[in-house]
């Protein structure tokens, strides 16, 4: 028997299929696709960071790391550590550092790089001590830290480094965020949001996966999306004797004032696959997408409160999320891109050639870049028409688009 509910579901599916078919027809009728990238695009691949611009696809280096702002990369080669202008590929600085070091984190000012002798991992390789090297112009500091320590982000003034202190060191499965003070070489607890030191025994211990990290526009705050956090207890829970039952949150880390706060995401965020979650930040706006539940949580970065949760068609694909300069939100679920205005009104639905591996807007907001299987593609950000594609073997994600 066909009920009103099933009829609406069926008719909605027919309409959606018709819309997607129309989208395919529009793209097929478009002008021939370009293979010349109109901006500077940085992408991650299984062989390191790749720089794309014009008709050029050039690897930056197998042992390389990009600043989160996308302006500078650090590369280790036989000659030492090289600082590279990501936009032009020009070498800015080069200095010997000795063998065995791997670049891991770049300061938000782009003038410092932290290196370890071990590759990243979740969890990382067990170890009793962690050698860490901080290098910059006229600066070189080496630290031998107790335990299994991974670099996360520099303080805004470059006098310290936020790290993930994994526990237990011989079988790491959870971690706490701490601060390495370069002046004394020791690890310290962070501050709470009201800028008081976190007491001993009240430091949060995380077990989930850091899915994505995004800087604020002023590069003073780092927002990291964590998923799969069953029974995680925040500092405020430990201090107040309460319990948290969230499965996902955004870890807000102020790089200047050195405090941290966890913005809880409502259920069912965090229950679905980690790759089905994505984060975007633009001024006072913060959004988190969960494709498995078809949810977009909107929060205010000043109040750090969830303001509303919008609903979209639930899917099961990897997620991508990006704000445009004109306040639209592009939410990718697998090979489908949903476009919304500031009020969550659906404006369009577009198709990608394959499942998304990150999305980024060009600086002028005219093009939407998306990582795809072994390629980068770009769409007209106004119409959704596919304008170009270029092959990038082993592509893992889009990192930035200048």
**Each residue of 71-121: pLDDT tens digit?**
999 999 888 999 999 989 899 999 999 989 999 999 988 899 999 999 988
CA–CA separation, 201 vs 184, rounded Å? 22
What confidence score (pLDDT) does residue 240 get? 47
pLDDT score recorded for residue 239 = 40
Task: Tell me which residues of the chain have a pLDDT lower than 70.
Answer: 1-31, 208-209, 229-246
What is the reported pLDDT for 154?
96
pLDDT at 208: 64
**Domains, in order of start, for the chain:** 63-188 (2.130.10.120)
The pTM of this model reads 0.85
Q: Say what the pLDDT of residue 58 is.
A: 94
Task: For 5, list phi and psi in degrees, rounded to 5.
Answer: -65, -45
DSSP of 298-310, one letter per residue?
EEETTTTEEEEEE
DSSP 229-276: -TT---HHHHHHT-----SEEEEEEETTT-BEEEEEPPTTTTTS-GGG
Spatial separation of the C-alpha atoms in residues 257 and 260, rounded to whole Å: 9
């Amino acid at each position: 028997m066909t009920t009103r509910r099933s009829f609406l579901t069926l008719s909605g599916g027919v309409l959606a299929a018709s819309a997607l078919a129309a989208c395919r027809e529009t793209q097929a009728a478009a002008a021939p696709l370009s293979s010349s990238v109109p901006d500077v695009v940085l992408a991650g691949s299984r062989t390191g960071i790749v720089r794309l611009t014009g008709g050029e696809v050039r690897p930056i280096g197998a042992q390389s790391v990009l600043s989160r702002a996308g302006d500078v990369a650090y590369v280790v080669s036989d000659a030492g550590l090289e600082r590279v202008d990501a936009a032009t590929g020009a070498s800015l600085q080069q200095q010997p550092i000795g063998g065995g070091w791997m670049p891991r984190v770049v300061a938000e000012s782009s003038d410092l790089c932290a290196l370890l002798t071990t590759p990243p991992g979740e969890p990382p390789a067990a170890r009793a001590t962690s050698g860490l090297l901080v290098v910059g112009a006229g600066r070189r500091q080496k630290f031998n830290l107790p335990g299994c320590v991974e670099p996360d982000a520099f303080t805004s003034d470059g006098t310290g480094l936020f790290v993930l202190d994994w526990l237990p060191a011989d079988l790491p499965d959870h971690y706490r965020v701490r601060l390495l003070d370069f002046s004394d070489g020791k690890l310290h607890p962070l501050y709470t949001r009201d800028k008081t030191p976190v007491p001993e025994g009240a430091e949060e211990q995380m077990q989930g996966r850091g899915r994505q990290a995004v800087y604020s526009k002023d590069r003073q705050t780092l927002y990291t999306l964590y998923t799969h956090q069953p029974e995680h207890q925040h500092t405020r829970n430990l201090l107040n004797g309460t319990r948290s039952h969230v499965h996902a949150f955004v870890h807000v880390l102020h790089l200047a004032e050195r405090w941290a706060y966890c913005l809880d995401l409502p259920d069912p965020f965090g229950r679905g696959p980690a790759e089905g979650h994505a984060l975007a930040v633009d001024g006072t706006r913060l959004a988190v997408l969960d494709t498995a539940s078809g949810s977009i949580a909107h929060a205010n970065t000043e109040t750090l409160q969830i303001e509303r949760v919008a609903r979209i068609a639930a899917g099961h694909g990897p997620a991508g999320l990006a704000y445009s300069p004109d306040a639209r939100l592009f939410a990718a679920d697998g090979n489908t891109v949903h476009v919304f205005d500031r009020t969550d009104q659906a404006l369009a639905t577009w198709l990608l050639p394959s499942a998304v591996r990150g999305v980024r807007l060009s600086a002028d907001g005219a093009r939407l870049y998306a990582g795809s299987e072994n390629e980068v593609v770009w769409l007209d950000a106004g119409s959704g028409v596919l304008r170009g594609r270029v092959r990038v073997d082993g592509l893992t994600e889009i990192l930035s688009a200048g």
